[in-house]
C-alpha cells in the first residue's frame, strides 16, 4: 500500500511539474511540442543520470521517483499526439522530427552522458 501511495503522490508532482514546463514554453511563444520535448529529455536524462542512486533507495522511495515523479513528468502519449497532428496535416518532416528529437536527446545523449 505504501508503494502505491508513493507512486500516486509522485505522479501528481510529476504532472504538475510537466504543466509548469508547458506554461514556460508557451510563454516563450512556442507551440506544444517543444514542451513535450523538454519534459521528455529532462525526464529521460534524470532517470538515466539518477538510476544508480534510485536503485539504492528503499522500494517505496524508488517507486516515487522512477514510476511516479518521472513517469508523471514525461509523457509518451503527448509525444504520440504531437507527431500524429503533424502527420495528419501532411507535415511528415515535422512529425518525424518530433519523434527523432525525443528519442535522440532522451536516449542517445543520455547514454553518451552517463555511460
pLDDT digits (tens, 9 = 90+) for 7-36: 999 999 999 999 999 999 999 988 778 888
In the chain, the largest separation of any two C-alpha atoms, in whole Å, equals 48
CA distance 14 to 71: 7
pLDDT score for 6: 95
Percent of the chain surpassing pLDDT 90: 51
Tell me the per-residue pLDDT of 44-93, one tens digit each, with 9 for 90 and over.
Answer: 888 888 887 888 899 999 999 989 999 999 988 888 888 999 999 999 99
CA distance 39 to 67: 15
Q: Which residue has the cell 514556460?
A: 24
pTM: 0.80
Amino acid at each position: 500500500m505504501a508503494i502505491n501511495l508513493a507512486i500516486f503522490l509522485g505522479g501528481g508532482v510529476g504532472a504538475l511539474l510537466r504543466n509548469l514546463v508547458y506554461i514556460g514554453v508557451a510563454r516563450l511563444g512556442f507551440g506544444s511540442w517543444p514542451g513535450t520535448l523538454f519534459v521528455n529529455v529532462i525526464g529521460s536524462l534524470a532517470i538515466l543520470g539518477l538510476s544508480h542512486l534510485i536503485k539504492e533507495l528503499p522500494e517505496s522511495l524508488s517507486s516515487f521517483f522512477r514510476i511516479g515523479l518521472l513517469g508523471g513528468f514525461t509523457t509518451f502519449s503527448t509525444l504520440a499526439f504531437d507527431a500524429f497532428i503533424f502527420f495528419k496535416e501532411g507535415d511528415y518532416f515535422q512529425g518525424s522530427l518530433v519523434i527523432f528529437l525525443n528519442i535522440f536527446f532522451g536516449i542517445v545523449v543520455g547514454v553518451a552522458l552517463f555511460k
